[in-house]
Structure 1
Amino acid sequence: MAVPVNLNRPFDPRLFLMDQELDRAAGLLLAGANALAKAGESARKKAGLSKPELQILMAVRYRPGQTVGELRTALGMTVPTFARLIGQLDSRGLIERARETSDARRRKLTLSDAGVTLTTPIAIEVRERLRLAFRASGPEAAAGVRTLLESLVK
């Protein structure tokens, strides 16, 4: 019989690599991502964007210049769904697709001026949520979080 694990206990820094602590960290990362998504939810609705459209726009905003294929792979979307969403965003004038100089078949994505304008209120909400969390945790913890997240996405 499995013993229930209390994931709300105080953090013991000596045990940070134990399975229980890693599970707790994974849960907190998922909950943190959900909190950031919720932070921009009202602005998303006001902008008339679906969640997948917002996901694409914010990924392009934060990492401009990705190719269509790179972004689709990073977001884990199917080719037909992604192509449909990109087409919708393009027809609304929210993204720009530029040919890559080394391979004209590949297109690099950036936000258009309208895309930047539309996503700015959402980015402001996300920034404010992060700002409050970073202030509450302090500069050393904030630097540690950045290091951890950069290691995860490499």
Structure 2
Amino acid sequence: MKIRIISKSGVIPEYKTSGSAGFDLPAYLEESITLKPGERRLVPTGIFMELPPGYEAQVRARSGLAIKNGIGLVNGIGTVDSDYRGELLVPMINWGEKDFTIRDGDRIAQVVITKYEQATFELSESLDNTERGAGGFGHTGV
């Protein structure tokens, strides 16, 4: 699949290994950003993309930043819809105990392209029974 992009920095996203599901997003900054513990910030990437209909881009945290520095995404996973044409901005948070500085070009998140289907909804008075039924959180034990 080919995805058309605009990259303000000229950097073209790439998969780091042949088995990578996601590609990294770089920060696109005129000056560094320092996130204090608990601080949230939208970090620009300079990347704009045109996804085909039926696909989304899932923006996810990078595991190395998360485990080593406590840096994550405010919303866990962000969705970029196929009809969005704006810049990819990453909502980052510092869950750690120390200030964390983001510099231009730092890999701040990863993106996985996924196929989806839109559902149609039908109102009903009941749902089919299953073995699980309405069993929710912890219903199978700890």
Q: Which has the higher strand share?
A: 2
Question: TM-score when scaled to structure 2?
Answer: 0.24
Larger relative contact order (Cα-Cα within 8 Å, sequence gap ≥ 6): 2
- Compare the two structures and name the one with the higher helix fraction: 1
Q: TM-score, length-normalised on structure 1?
A: 0.23
